[in-house]
Every structure is written in C-alpha cells, then in structure tokens.
C-alpha cells in the first residue's frame, strides 16, 4: 500500500475515532476521554492492547484523582508525575489537559473474527497471500457485554449496544467483481473501499416476524489476482445517537395513531382529487362555452367599431346643426326686437289711417249735403273716386301682406313653443312666447278685420265711383253710398283701435323675448360646445377602434390557448385522481395494514429500549474512571495485513511495524 492510500485510510480512521468524542463541559466537571488501541492478527486474535487517556479540566493546574486498572502508566505529553495508590492515580495538572497511556490484559467487550476462503475452501491467512481465484472474506463482530435483566416479568439477555464500524481497502489491481452482503462500496482512485457497520447482539432482541435486518457478519466475495490485503480497521463505541433518541420515544401507539391520521388524510385527499377532477372537467367544458361567448363578443366588437364610425359622422353633423341653431336663435332675438318696433309703428299708422278715414267719411257727408253744389263737378269727383278706389286696393294688398306676415310669425312662435316644451316643459321662455303668441293672434284678428273693412271701404268707394257716374241721375244713391262710407269708416276706426292695442302687446312681448333670450342663447351655445367636445371624443374613439380590433384578435387567440390548457389540466386532474386512488389503496392502506400487524412485535422491542439506553450511558470507560468524572471510550482495532511472499526486506519492515505497535504506527503515518 503506498503512502497516499495509507494517509487517506488514516484520515478516515481519525474521523471514526473522533465522531463520538465527548464535548468538554462548560463548568468545572472533569472529563476523561479513553481510546483503546488493539492490534489483532489477520484472523482477529488480540495481540496487544494500548490504552490512551486524556484528562481535561477547565481549571488550570487542578489536582485530579483518577481511577484506572492500567499498568505501566506513562505521561506521553507532559512532565507531570502520577501518585499511584492501588487503582487511584493522582495528577497535578500543569495546564488544562493531561495525556497518558498504559497496558492491560482485560478482556475486550467486543471481538473481530476474520475467516478467509479460496475457491470455496477455508484457508489460513498465512497461506492465501499471493494466491489467485474466487475469494471470500467473512468479518464477524461479537459483543461480549451481555447482561440479564427482567423486563415485563421475563428475564432477557441484553447486550451493551456497541456500534462497530469497519473499513476494508481492496485495490483494483488485485480484486474485481466485488460483492458484499451488507454495507457500502466506495470508489477512491485505484481502490474499492468497503464500509460496514454492525451492532452485535441487537439482532437477538428483534422479534422473529420483523423485517429489520442487522447482520453481524460482513461477507465479501471477489475475484483475486495474487491475493494481498491491507489491515482491516474497525472502531467500536457505545455512544450511539440513535439509541439515545430511543429514550424520548413512548409507544408505537403514537405511530399507529399517526398512520390512522395519515390514512384519513389520504382518504380526504383522494376525495379532494376527485372533486378537483370533476371541477376541472366542468371548467374545461365552461371554457368551451366561454370561447363561444368571446366569439360573439368579437362580432359585437366589429359592429361597435362600425357604429363608432357612424356615430362620429352623426356627431359632426349634429355639431354643425347646433351651430346653425345657435346662430338662428341670435338672429331671431335680434329680429324680434325689430319686429316689435315695426308692429308698434304699424299700429300707430293704422290708428292714424282710421282717423283720416273718419275725416274722409265726414267729408263724404258734407259732400252728400253739398251734393247739389258738386253736381257740376261730378266728372272730376268721379276721377278722384276712381283714384281713391285704386289707392284703397293697394292698401288692402298691403294689409294682406301684413296679415300674412303676422300669420307666419304666429306659426313660427307656435313651432318654437312646441320645440321648447319638448326640450324642457319648464323653460321660462314658454310663458313669454305664449303671451307673444296671444298678441299675434289678436293682431291677426285685427288685421283680418281691417282687411274686411278695407274691402268694405273699397266696395263703398267703388259704389261712390259708380254713384258719381249716376250722381247726376241718382242723388239718393249717392247719399246712400255716403252713409255706407261713413259706416265703413267707423268700422275701420274700431279695427284700427284693436290693431293698436295688439301692436302694443306685440311690442311688449318682443321686448320680453329679447330680455329672456340670453338663457336661450347660452343654452344653445352650451349644446354647440358640448357637441364639439363629443365630436373630439368620437375622434379618439375612432383612433382606438384599430386597437380594439387587434385586442379582439389577441383575445380570441388567448382563449384558444386557455381552452387547450384547460383540457390538459382536465387530463392531468383525471390522472392525478387515478394515481391518488392507487396510492391510497396500494400505499397508505397497505402501510396501515402492515404496521398494524407489526405493532405487537415492535412494542416488545420498545420495552427494552430503556435498558439499552441505560447500558449505553453507563459504559463510559474501559480501564476505570472516578465517580466525579464524565467519560467516553472507543475501541480502535487493526488486523495484520496479508502480503504475498516477498523479499526479506519487506518482511523486516513488517516486523518493525509490529514491534512499534499500532499507536506508534498511526503517529508515524501523520509524521510523513
């Protein structure tokens, strides 16, 4: 074995040696850490035992009394000398730690036995070196620390629980096709390293019907070429963390209760996966319906996009119309003021005309009275009468135009009132316009009366003219005609009075229109401004319709993916439900059944766990320890190596190694 392999092997050994070393106490308790080095023959027979002890105290220079059965005690690291009185050894420490060693012939609590086989036949280690063939190596661990104790009314043999870890290095150039019955095989460079852990004696405590396998024998089988084998290294300790943790266990009933809870939870989980599967299936179906709804939404979106375009055009048209309405209202207000003034002037003119008509009628009477005097001037009067008839005819036509204007104004006012009532029945303009409408109706009646009177006047004038023609022959007819003229003049005077009154009302109403028009103008302007803003907003909507169209396409695509994902989830949920049913039936229920069957057997094992913990805690030394000390102990065992026959030099080196002893050999490895 070369130096590298030796050092790796030694490092592994040190790790095993230090894995269970006690921690130094934080108070004034003195601790003793004991290591028992054992040199074994190739078959496991004890050749030499050296014990190394380390005493530690937190107080420097403390005087310590130890208890030990060792002989040939020697301080290996300091100058302190022991005071020995039987098994009591007193040391006066110079520092915190003291290291000493000694010898003993005390029987070891554990043994290692090694047997070798070649091609199926048992062979001595002195004979197997250099041989080739199928080899088998059996490493048996034995626990000699047996105790009898009474547990649950029955006497049982219980062993102090020693854990023995062994390491065997098998070079690749010698061993191949390696098989082991327990442990692990690790690869390191050109070597296969077999590690094996056993707890000898624990198998005897296991019930026969348990499946727990704790082999106390390691069996290695391999093909060997010129057999050689390095030392088999083993470390034994009873400081087992797993055993100590048993002290915190109660009964397997807690485990069984947990299994029952697990079984119940598994059943609930199975129901949950069934619910999930059903729900996912329903979700997948609903997603298909959702996809159909999204398709309809897409169609509606298309219609909406078209409607937005049309709405924008309609809003623009409405905006233009609203501006025209506002301008028309302003013109109407301005015209209403002028109309009122014209109506007033018209009324005043009608009164003046009536007054003149009366004067004319009076003159006609005088004419009738002075008919005799006028007879000679009948020709001239006839011409004048015809001119008067022609003027009256023009006056009638003018009056008809006035009547038509008043009727048109009345119709316009009525339309405005109707529109205002439709927009806002409480609009204050309605009352004002209603009064104007009443005044216009009065004007219309007076104008119609005036037209009638003028027609009568015309008829009278015509008759005057006709009468003048006949004046010379029919004076009576002239007088009669003058009477009609006087009567018509009186009617004209009455109509002119009514027309004057209506004109005054119309003028007053037009002023009220002007006064109340500000709200109408402001309202129409507000409508126009609002439609302008709406028009701007519609342009924004038009600009966003392309985004809406693209978003609708993206939505349809995403829904397709969503439906696909929903179907995959449905399949996954169904598979999960099937596997959960299988897990519940074949896993949890089977586990519960097996544990229930094994409960009685494992409960028997738990009955001895307190005794095992007690024995492990009590075995804290091999050579002895004072009562006031805390202790720990480990055993490091090494077998002799087996080599094929070589030159004398190699044998001498081997003999030298044996003479030095294992402890010196180990130190020499770390010194190289």
pLDDT band for position 5 (50/70/90)? very low
Please tell me the distance from the alpha carbon of residue 81 to that of residue 89, in angstroms, as a whole number: 10
Residue 578 clears pLDDT 90, i.e. is over it? no
- Ranked by mean pLDDT, the top range of 34-48, 236-250, 374-388, 517-531 is 34-48
Question: Cα separation of 657 and 640, whole Å?
Answer: 10
The dihedral sign for the CA sequence 327, 332, 333, 337:
positive
Q: Is there a contact between 53 and 101 (Cβ–Cβ < 8 Å)?
A: yes
Of 485 and 8, the one with more pLDDT: 485
Tell me the pLDDT tens digit for each residue of 341-360: 765 676 676 667 667 767 75
| Residue 470 predicted with pLDDT over 60 | yes
pLDDT score at 602: 58
Question: Residue 151: is its pLDDT beyond 50?
Answer: yes
pLDDT for the residue numbered 200: 94
Q: Please give the torsion angle defined by the CA atoms of residues 656, 657, 663 and 667, in that order, rounded to the nearest 10 degrees.
A: 100
Q: Residue 54: pLDDT above 90?
A: yes
Q: What is the pLDDT of residue 221?
A: 98
Q: Is residue 51 part of a domain?
A: no
Domain hosting 459: range is 334-541
Q: With respect to residue 133, please indicate whether it lies within any of the assigned structural domains.
A: no
pLDDT in tens, 180-214: 999 999 998 999 999 999 999 888 877 665 656 67
pLDDT bracket for residue 68 (50, 70, 90): very high
pLDDT in tens, 75-93: 999 999 999 999 999 999 9
In-domain check, residue 619? no
Q: What distance in Å separates the CA atoms of residue 156 and residue 205, rounded to the nearest whole number? A: 9
- The Cα–Cα gap between 86 and 495 comes to 165
257 falls in which pLDDT band (50, 70, 90)? low
Neighbours of 222 (CB within 10 A): 20
Burial of 464 (0-12, 13-18, 19+ CB in 10 A): buried
Query: Beta-carbon neighbour count of residue 382 at 10 Å?
Result: 18
What integer pLDDT is reported at residue 93 of this predicted model?
Answer: 92
Residues 6+ apart with CB under 8 A from 483: none
Confidence of residue 570 (pLDDT cuts 50, 70, 90): confident
Contacts of 645 (CB under 8 A, 6+ apart): 129, 130
pLDDT for 245 equals 47
Q: What is the per-residue pLDDT for 229?
A: 97
pLDDT of residue 672: 42
Q: Which position has the higher pLDDT, 142 or 594?
A: 142
In a domain, 308, yes or no: no
Q: Are 236 and 634 in contact (CB under 8 A)?
A: yes
Lowest model confidence (mean pLDDT) among 19-28, 149-158, 359-368, 544-553: 19-28
Residue 642 is classified by DSSP as B
Chain segment 585-598, per-residue pLDDT in tens: 766 776 666 556 55
Residue 13 lies in a domain: no
- Among 217-226, 302-311, 350-359, top mean pLDDT goes to 217-226
Q: What is the pTM of this model?
A: 0.47
Residue 76 pLDDT: 93
- Give the pLDDT band of residue 671 (cuts 50, 70, 90): very low
| Rounded Cα distance, 188 and 194, in Å | 11
End-to-end CA distance of the chain: 15
Q: In this predicted structure, what is the pLDDT of residue 505?
A: 74
In a domain, 456, yes or no: yes
Other CB atoms within 10 Å distance of the CB of residue 199: 21
Domains in the chain, number: 1
Lowest mean pLDDT among 7-16, 268-277, 438-447: 7-16
Flag whether 376 is in a domain. Answer: yes
Within a domain: residue 321?
no
Q: Tell which wins on pLDDT, 68 or 566.
A: 68
């Amino acid at each position: 074995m070369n130096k590298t392999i030796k050092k790796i092997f030694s490092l592994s050994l040190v790790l095993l040696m230090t894995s269970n070393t006690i921690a130094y106490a934080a108070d004034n308790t003195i601790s003793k850490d004991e290591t028992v080095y054992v040199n074994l023959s190739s078959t496991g027979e004890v050749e030499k035992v050296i014990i190394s002890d380390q005493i530690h105290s937190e107080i420097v220079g403390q005087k310590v009394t130890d208890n030990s059965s060792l002989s040939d005690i020697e301080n290996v690291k300091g100058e302190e000398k022991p005071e020995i009185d039987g098994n009591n050894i007193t040391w006066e420490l110079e520092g915190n730690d003291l290291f000493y060693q000694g010898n003993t012939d005390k029987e070891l609590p554990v043994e290692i036995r090694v047997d070798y086989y070649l091609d199926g036949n048992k062979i001595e280690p002195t004979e197997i070196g250099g041989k080739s063939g199928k080899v088998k190596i059996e490493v048996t661990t034995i626990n000699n620390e047996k105790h009898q104790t009474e547990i649950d009314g029955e006497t049982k043999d219980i062993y102090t629980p020693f854990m023995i870890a062994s390491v065997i290095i098998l070079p690749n150039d010698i061993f191949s096709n390696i098989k082991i019955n327990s442990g692990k095989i690790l690869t390191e460079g050109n070597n296969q390293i077999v590690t094996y852990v056993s707890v000898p004696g624990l198998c005897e405590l296991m019930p026969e019907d348990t499946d727990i396998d704790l082999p106390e024998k390691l069996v290695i089988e391999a093909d060997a070429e010129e057999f050689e084998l390095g030392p088999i290294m083993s470390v034994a300790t009873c400081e087992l963390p797993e055993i100590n943790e048993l002290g915190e266990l109660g009964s397997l009933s807690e485990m069984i209760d947990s299994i029952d809870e697990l079984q119940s939870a598994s059943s609930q989980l199975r129901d949950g996966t069934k619910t999930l599967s059903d729900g996912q299936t329903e979700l997948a179906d609903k997603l298909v319906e959702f996809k159909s709804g999204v398709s309809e939404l897409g169609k509606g979106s298309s219609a909406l996009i078209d409607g937005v375009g049309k709405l924008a055009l309609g809003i623009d048209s409405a905006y233009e119309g609203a501006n025209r309405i506002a301008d028309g209202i302003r013109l109407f207000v301005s015209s209403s003021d002028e109309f009122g003034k014209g109506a007033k002037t018209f009324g005043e003119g009608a009164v003046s005309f009536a007054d003149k008509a009366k004067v004319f009628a009076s003159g006609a009477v005088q004419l009738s009275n002075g008919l005799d005097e006028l007879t000679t001037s009948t020709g001239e009067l006839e011409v004048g009468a015809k001119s008067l008839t022609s003027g009256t005819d023009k006056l009638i036509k003018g009056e008809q135009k006035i009547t038509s204007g008043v009727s048109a104004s009345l119709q316009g006012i009525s339309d405005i009132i109707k529109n205002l009532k439709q927009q806002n029945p409480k609009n204050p303009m309605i009352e004002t316009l209603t009064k104007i409408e009443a005044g216009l109706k009065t004007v219309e009646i007076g104008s119609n009366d005036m037209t009638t009177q003028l027609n009568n006047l015309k008829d009278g004038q015509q008759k005057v003219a006709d009468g003048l023609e006949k004046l010379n022959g029919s004076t009576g007819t002239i007088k009669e005609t003058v009477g009609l003229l006087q009567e018509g003049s009186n009617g004209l005077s009455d109509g002119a009075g009514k027309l004057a009154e209506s004109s005054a009302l119309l003028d007053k109403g037009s002023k009220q229109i002007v006064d109340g028009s500000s709200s109408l103008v402001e309202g129409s302007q507000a409508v126009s401004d609002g439609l302008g803003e709406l028009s701007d907003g519609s342009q924004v909507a038009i600009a966003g319709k392309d985004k809406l169209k693209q978003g609708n396409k993206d939505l349809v695509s995403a829904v397709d993916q969503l439906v696909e994902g929903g179907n995959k989830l449905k399949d996954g949920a169904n598979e999960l439900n099937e596997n959960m049913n299988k897990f519940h039936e074949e896993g949890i229920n089977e586990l519960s059944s097996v544990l229930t069957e094994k409960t009685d057997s494992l409960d028997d094992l738990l009955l001895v766990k307190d005794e095992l913990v007690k024995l492990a805690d009590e075995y804290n030394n091999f050579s002895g320890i004072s009562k006031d000390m805390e202790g720990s102990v480990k055993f490091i065992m090494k077998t002799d190596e087996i080599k094929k026959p070589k030159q004398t030099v190699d044998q001498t080196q081997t003999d030298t190694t044996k003479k030095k002893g294992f402890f010196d050999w180990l130190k020499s490895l770390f010194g190289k």
